[in-house]
Amino acid sequence: MIEASPAGRVSRGGIAGIEDTPRRPCRSAAPILGLDAAAPRREDAAGTEERRPEPNTGTGEGLRLEATLGLIRRAAEARRFVSYGEVAAASGLPWNAARRRMDPHLFALCQRATERGWPLLSALVVDKQSVPHGAMRGRPLVGFARAAERLGRIVGGDAASFLADEQARVFAWANKERGA
């Protein structure tokens, strides 16, 4: 049995060979978890207060929607695709710093596009090997199709065809925005 003495020392119940050790103050995990004193707080049913991080706005910390929008607009005008790394670089971030933030960032971009009646602009963002042709496979294609469905688009049974159609819509949107 472990007990704390009034002096703050831990007693191991008199087990031979184990000395009493002073207690150290517990450091808060808040800085490690990205929480701060100004973060929103919530009380559960028992009245226990819990600090929570700022709600994710979906933009991905450090990734800037305006920078990504400009990059995709220029790429669409040139009828080319961009890599995830290019999206990160447009916001001044290395890929390894932006990697885990990319999905919510691109979803936020698609939300904005949907609100404005534009096509899903993230259709032009592909992995580095796919930049020459724009095809998506595997997880990126599934993620794109799911994002489209969350935004009310009907993908149908062929996500690759939906992607190709959406890419064509993004190219047409860029020409219309440019006034061509």
Q: How far apart are CA 85 and CA 99, in angstroms?
A: 8
Residue 58 lies in a domain: no
Residue 2 lies in a domain: no
Q: Which domain holds residue 130?
A: 65-178
Residue 14 lies in a domain: no
Residue 167 lies in a domain: yes
For position 78, what pLDDT does the model report? Answer: 96
- Report the range of poorest mean pLDDT among 16-25, 82-91, 112-121, 132-141: 16-25
Instruction: Look at residue 110 and tell me whether its pLDDT is greater than 50.
Output: yes
What domain count does the chain have? 1
Instruction: Look at residue 41 and tell me whether its pLDDT is greater than 90.
Output: no
Residue 56 lies in a domain: no
pLDDT tens-digit map of 78-104: 999 999 999 999 999 999 899 899 999
Residue 11 lies in a domain: no
Candidates 176, 87, 67, 68; CA nearest to 131 is 87
Question: Average pLDDT of the chain?
Answer: 77
Q: Which of the four pLDDT bands, split at 50, 70 and 90, describes residue 179?
A: confident
Residue 76 lies in a domain: yes
